[in-house]
Amino acid sequence: MDPETEFLSSKRQTGNEWELFKENVRPLKRGRNVDLLNHALKAHTNDQLKKSLLENRRRLIEAIDEYQGDDPLQPWLDCIKWVQEAFPPGGDFSGLVLIYEQCVRAFWHWDHYKDDLRYLKVWLEYAEHCSDAEVIYCFLDANDIGKTHSAYYIAYALHMESKSKMKAANDILNLGISSNAQPIEKLRDAYKKFLARSMRRPNATEEELKEDDLPVRSFGTVLARGESQRQAIKTFELGRNKLKQDQVHRTPLSIYNDTNMDVTRGHHSKPNTGSNSWHTLGGRAERNKENNAMPAKWTSHKIPQRPVPRIVGAVASAQIEVFVDEECEEKPKVHDEKDRTSSLQLRELDGRNIKKETELLRENPLRNFPSNSLPR
């Protein structure tokens, strides 16, 4: 028997399970503990270990509601960190996206956490799992969350740059520098790298030209010798096309007048001077003849109605929904009562709807937030 067959038949464990599943492991910026990674990857082949992971996750979720300290965000962070380590592939089975959403929704109106870097990082990690993170960055901007940290502006600018919106990314980084977001050195270094990348990019795309009608140069870009001439020609052509469009719109419209045209014969006809023509206004009695009719009762006239089948017995009227203005709604209490997310909703992570809910959150990450918190 060869050594490989002997090893497989012995069913011994080497402790290097990550070598077999490393292509399915989601990388983390802080790195991973190899021992915890090997222990978590054994759940692919061990059903008992998989059940123990789910049970441990349930206990961490229950610990969130049972927390009585001064920092209710900490148990959420412990739960998120453990799920990232215990479920290396991530995906829908881990329930990480739902935990992100529950965490950020629990504290979005807490002034205490709006400048907390830990809370901002949860938002940024949540944005990485969404199909379009621009919705999240607009929400953070509208609610003044994390705007004192450079990480917010750097992540926002990188996302806009990935969508080829270079001017918006440039404005976001400039806004962060003017706001003195900390650490400012990290933000300035990110801005220098952004300018270097923008200089290596090709000319402005057609979408950017349609948005601004004229080519836009970011601060710090350098034009080549021939590029300056091509850009001047493009500017001249755009201006000439716009002038032609204005001239076309300024052309007067000819209005056809068929006052004296005979429609049936197709030629001009003489005005009719018959006896029925109105040459004189007549006397006062003729002019006021429309006021000669005497008023009568309207009860004698019946409006025709459609026959409706009668329903035996009284039918309860539909309930009328009362409109409540968003500005008049009672705001959630922040200092008097701690806003806790129900652990029952988080325990449903083990149900069958976890995949469907995760997909819905990826498409619309703010679907469970109140309407008065969304940017307008």
Residue 111 belongs to domain with CATH number: 1.25.40.430
**What's the residue count for the chain?**
376
Average pLDDT of the residues in 13-22: 59
Cα dist from 36 to 20, 40, 42, 85, 86, whole Å: 15, 6, 10, 7, 7
19 assigned to some structural domain: yes
Query: Model confidence at 335, in pLDDT bands (50, 70, 90)?
Result: very low
Structural tokens at position 148: 């004192």
Distance of CA 38 to the CA centre of its chain: 37
User: What is the structure's pLDDT at 282?
Assistant: 72
User: What is the structure's pLDDT at 326?
Assistant: 62
Share of the chain above pLDDT 70, in %: 61
41-55, 143-157, 232-246, range with the lowest pLDDT: 232-246
Cβ burial of 234 (10 Å; 0-12, 13-18, 19+) is: middle
Residue in the block written with tokens 């469970």: 368
3-state secondary structure of 268: strand
Cβ atoms of 133 and 141 within 8 Å: the answer is no
Where would I find the beta strands (DSSP E) of the chain? none
Structural tokens at position 205: 């795309």
Average pLDDT of the residues in 7-22: 57
Highest mean pLDDT among 17-21, 108-112, 298-302, 350-354: 108-112
Contacts of residue 250, Cβ cutoff 8 Å, sequence gap at least 6: none
148 assigned to some structural domain: no
Instruction: Give the total number of structural domains in the chain.
Output: 1
Cβ atoms of 271 and 260 within 8 Å: the answer is yes
Better-predicted residue by pLDDT, 163 or 40: 163
User: What is the structure's pLDDT at 36?
Assistant: 73
Better-predicted residue by pLDDT, 310 or 38: 38
Report the alpha-carbon distance of residue 51 to residue 42 in Å, rounded. Answer: 12
3-state secondary structure of 214: coil
Query: Model confidence at 116, in pLDDT bands (50, 70, 90)?
Result: very high
20 assigned to some structural domain: yes
User: What is the structure's pLDDT at 158?
Assistant: 96
Where on the phi/psi map is residue 359: left (φ > 0), alpha (ψ -120 to 50), or beta?
alpha
Query: Model confidence at 94, in pLDDT bands (50, 70, 90)?
Result: confident
Q: For residue range 276-319, what is the model confidence (pLDDT) as tens digits?
A: 556 777 777 777 767 666 777 777 767 777 776 665 555 555 67
| Angle in degrees, 0-180, between the axes of helices 184-200 and 166-178, rounded to the nearest 10 | 160
289 assigned to some structural domain: no
311 assigned to some structural domain: no
Better-predicted residue by pLDDT, 312 or 64: 64
Structural tokens at position 30: 């802080």
241 assigned to some structural domain: no
84 assigned to some structural domain: yes
Share of the chain above pLDDT 90, in %: 35
Better-predicted residue by pLDDT, 52 or 204: 52
Backbone phi, then psi, for 53, in 5-degree steps? -65, -45
36 assigned to some structural domain: yes
User: What is the structure's pLDDT at 121?
Assistant: 96
First to last CA, the chain: 72
Report the alpha-carbon distance of residue 270 to residue 262 in Å, rounded. Answer: 9
Full DSSP string of 310-342: --SS--PPPPPPPP--GGGSPPPPSSSS-----
Report the alpha-carbon distance of residue 130 to residue 29 in Å, rounded. Answer: 18
**One-letter amino acid of 123:** W
Q: Above 70 in pLDDT, residue 247?
A: no
Cβ atoms of 341 and 64 within 8 Å: the answer is yes
Report the alpha-carbon distance of residue 77 to residue 64 in Å, rounded. Answer: 10
The boundaries of the domain holding residue 20 are 15-115
Backbone phi, then psi, for 149, in 5-degree steps? -110, 140
